[in-house]
Amino acid sequence: MSLKGKDLLDLHSLSPDEVAEILRTAAELKQKQKAGMEHHLLKGKTLGMIFQKSSTRTRVSFEVGMWQLGGSALFLSANDLQMGRGEPIKDTARVLSRYIDGIMIRTYAQRDVEELAEWADIPVINGLTDLQHPCQVLADLFTVQEHLGKLKGVKLAFLGDGFNMANSLMEGGAKTGMHIAIATPQGYEPKPEIVARAQADAKETGGSITVLNDPREAARDADVLVTDVWSSMGHEAEHRARLKAFGGYSLSSAMAAIAKPKAVVLHCLPAHRGEEISEELFEAHAGEIFDEAENRLHVQKAIMALVM
């Protein structure tokens, strides 16, 4: 099995073995970095990072990760590229393929990332779209594995919006034999086609995917509790309506009491305390949450080292 030259657009497209290979490589690279051992696997290579949305973690972890691998990274704001003035994605893809060795892109439409990947001769990595956040979820899986020692059979409950994080969690959980319960208010459920294909994948690994409108039922006996902002990038204008709709979906100590006593709590960040998570629960689990943020670095280094 080789991931060399492959794109990472979503987790559904990876095999369970490929997910395991990324997590195994991440562990190896994390250990090397902590031990101060050189791991210049991408010496002389360049990653272009196209951002059409804001970012702290994704930008810094990809850029630093590339340096640690002996390569370099270019920050490309979509507004400053000619793409922002209408140059077609397919031309941008072919031009960048002549200069650099890989592209990370954060944008709105998953279709744009797919088009970029179709036309680029170099690997394309999805750094978040409205539909997917695969690098984040690989970091989440890695963090769960570190804290609980396994993924297979682990129950993970996600409370909140059936948006990019929920989709990628279903896909990643399905590949690793986890039991994923997604609880959203009515009208905010994940897309049925994403749920259906994750359910089919879960059948292959002994996992399961459940979508419900009851946060307490989802959280019951969970090994891992996950949430995300209620108003993602692009939804700012709906914030007031969303505060109302998501009212009962906050991760609080009371909600955590329904889960397993030592449940891990994750949040991809940035967090809105007092909305999707309480200050108290956030700080009680800050160790896990910032491990999760750190693990973006290790997991993305593994992805880049494997595909580029």
**Residue positions annotated with a catalytic role:** 106, 133, 136, 228, 268, 296
Distances (CA, A) of 218 to 105, 214, 223, 259, 269: 32, 6, 11, 9, 21
163 binds, among ligand CP, ligand NVA, none (CB under 5 to 8 A by kind): ligand NVA
Q: What part of residues 259-278 is at the interface with ligand CP (CB under 6 A)?
A: 268-269
Q: Does 78 bind ligand CP (CB under 6 A)?
A: no
Q: What part of residues 233-252 is at the interface with ligand NVA (CB under 6 A)?
A: 233
Q: Which is nearer to ligand CP, 25 or 58 (CB)?
A: 58
165 binds, among ligand CP, ligand NVA, none (CB under 5 to 8 A by kind): ligand NVA
Distance CA 220, CA 254 (A): 12
Q: What part of residues 105-134 is at the interface with ligand NVA (CB under 6 A)?
A: 128
Q: Does 25 bind ligand NVA (CB under 6 A)?
A: no
Q: Which is nearer to ligand NVA, 117 or 128 (CB)?
A: 128
Q: Which of 271, 267, 259, 272 is nearest to 291 (CA)?
A: 267
Whether the link from the prior residue into 270 is cis, omega within 30° of 0, is yes
Report whether 140 contacts 154 (CB < 8 A): no
Distance CA 236, CA 2 (A): 40
229 binds, among ligand NVA, ligand CP, none (CB under 5 to 8 A by kind): ligand NVA
One-letter amino acid at 29 equals L
Half-sphere exposure at residue 210, Cβ-oriented, CA atoms within 13 angstroms: 20
164 binds, among ligand NVA, ligand CP, none (CB under 5 to 8 A by kind): ligand NVA
Q: Which is nearer to ligand CP, 203 or 239 (CB)?
A: 239
CB of 228 to ligand CP, least distance (A): 9
The residue of the chain with the least Cβ separation from ligand CP equals 58
Distances (CA, A) of 249 to 246, 252, 261: 5, 9, 19
Q: Does 128 bind ligand CP (CB under 6 A)?
A: yes
Cβ-based neighbours of 84, under 8 Å, separated by 6 or more: 77, 78
Distance CA 35, CA 30 (A): 9
The residue of the chain with the least Cβ separation from ligand NVA equals 232
Q: Which is nearer to ligand CP, 119 or 230 (CB)?
A: 230
Q: Does 74 bind ligand CP (CB under 6 A)?
A: no
Phi and psi angles of residue 296, each rounded to the nearest 5 degrees, phi first: -55, -45
Binding mask 44-73 for ligand CP (x = CB under 6 A): -----------xxxx---------------
Phi-psi region of 104 (alpha: psi -120 to 50; beta: other; left: phi over 0): beta
One-letter amino acid at 74 equals L
Binding mask 223-262 for ligand CP (x = CB under 6 A): ----------------------------------------
Report whether 82 contacts 76 (CB < 8 A): no
Q: What part of residues 131-160 is at the interface with ligand CP (CB under 6 A)?
A: 136
Q: Does 61 bind ligand NVA (CB under 6 A)?
A: no
Report whether 154 contacts 224 (CB < 8 A): yes
Stretch that binds ligand NVA, among 69-77, 118-126, 162-170, 256-264 (CB under 6 A): 162-170
Residues near ligand CP, by CB under 6 A: 55-58, 128, 136, 268-269
